[in-house]
Amino acid sequence: MRLTVLLGGHLRNEATKGPRERILELPDDSLVSDLVDALNLPHQRLKMILVNHRGATLKRKLHDGDRVGLFPPELSYNTFVSLSFRQERVASSGKD
C-alpha cells in the first residue's frame, strides 16, 4: 500500500533520510507502528498521530492512500491548537 507521510518538527531529522513529506510503500495490513518502525523513529518520540486529519494511535490499521502526520511532543500542542482554530474558522465562515 502507498501512504503519504508528513513528519513534524525534529522528526524529519530523526527519521530515515528524506523530505518532510514523503510517499512510503508498506505491506497491506500495516499499522501506524509499522510505519514508525520503517522510518526508524522511536515510538516514545511521537506525541500526536493523525491519519487522514483525525487522531490515531500506533495500533491503527492503515489503508492505501492514507495521509499520516507524525508530530513530536514539542510540536503537538501547537499543531492541535492550529488545527482546532482552522476548523472553527471554516465552520464560522459558513455562517456569514
Cβ atoms of 79 and 48 within 8 Å: the answer is yes
Cα distance between residue 93 and residue 59, in whole Å: 35
Query: pLDDT grade, residue 93 (50/70/90)?
Result: very low
- Answer with the residue of higher pLDDT: 73 or 84: 73
Its pTM stands at 0.76
- Tell me what the mean pLDDT of segment 18-33 comes to: 91
In order of their start, the domains of the chain are: 2-93 (3.10.20.30)
The residues near 4 (Cβ < 8 Å, ≥ 6 apart) are 21, 22, 23, 66, 67, 68
CA angle 41, 27, 46 (to 5 degrees): 20
Quick: pLDDT tens for 26-80: 999 999 999 999 999 999 989 889 999 898 999 999 999 999 999 888 765 665 5
Q: What per-residue confidence (pLDDT) applies to 91?
A: 47
